[in-house]
Structure 1
């Protein structure tokens, strides 16, 4: 059975439970209605990201079936791959397949070579995602809905269109959460002028604009 990575917008007010079915609903249907309202991406880009995830998952499944466990998250047409592949060659092939999908402008390959930890690992990441979301919600200077959180084997990936101070605040908050092994910030950092446009509601979606910043600890 393939489980999806936990991808939670800050504005999603829903309890993360310890059952797989409820978690998938939170990351799927419930996520869809929340992110359109509060996300800094345009509605069109949000739809495109959902379609990209479908395309990438489809080509991976067609090529590997159930031999790998790979999770796909697309934010602003940048694709994050997490999970497990059985070999380095499979890992590279999955990245190549993802990069060839329509609409993808960057692939970030965080797939580990090895076997998948199973339901226990999935539930641990689910619990951790809830703790991370709560920590981010407590940061009064972070607007709700601007950051996506992906948890995989204790590593927390942060994606979003944010200002420099917002990025620093989010990363610092997540680093203090118990159970987090590593934080990888994959933000696209907005200039002050772009951030001001978003706050006024006049920004155009920067599908190729802001500088991408990645860091991990």
Structure 2
């Protein structure tokens, strides 16, 4: 019985460690991305917010009629994608 308890504890501990590895690597990648970018963290956050909001609005407005991706850098926006016709391109 004691051996079973130890085995279960070891498995649970190993599962917890695997999650830690993912978090550590994710944190390192995220930190490196912020450090490598010349923009301030505040501007990066604003750009991310602009991208999320614009992508959401464009998706709601055009649905399957267009595939548009919004990229924001230093609060300047670039629209990339394809649309079924020129009116959709103009509206976007």
TM-score, scaled to structure 1: 0.28
| Structure 1 position 45 matched with structure 2 position 43 | yes
How far, CA to CA, are the matches of 1:80 and 1:64 in structure 2?
17
How far, CA to CA, are the matches of 2:85 and 2:62 in structure 1?
12
How far, CA to CA, are the matches of 1:87 and 1:46 in structure 2?
33
Aligned residues: 65
How far, CA to CA, are the matches of 1:35 and 1:81 in structure 2?
23
The alpha carbon displacement at 1:35 in A equals: 2.5
Cα offsets for 1:149-170 (capped at 9, x unmatched): xxxxxxxxxxxxxxxxxxxxxx
| Structure 1 position 92 matched with structure 2 position 90 | yes
Among residues 42, 53, 56, which one is paired with 1:55 in the alignment?
Answer: 53
Classify the secondary structure of the residue corresponding to 1:70: strand
Classify the secondary structure of the residue corresponding to 1:66: helix
The alpha carbon displacement at 1:92 in A equals: 1.0
How far, CA to CA, are the matches of 2:67 and 2:60 in structure 1?
13
RMSD: 1.9
Classify the secondary structure of the residue corresponding to 1:41: coil
Query: Where do 5+ consecutive residues of structure 2 fail to align?
Result: 1-25
Structure 1: which 4+ aligned runs deviate by more than 3 Å? none
How far, CA to CA, are the matches of 2:44 and 2:65 in structure 1?
29
Higher helix share: 2
Relative contact order, CA 8 A, sep 6+: which one is greater? 1
How far, CA to CA, are the matches of 2:90 and 2:33 in structure 1?
31
Aligned to 1:102: none
Higher strand share: 1
Aligned to 1:82: 80
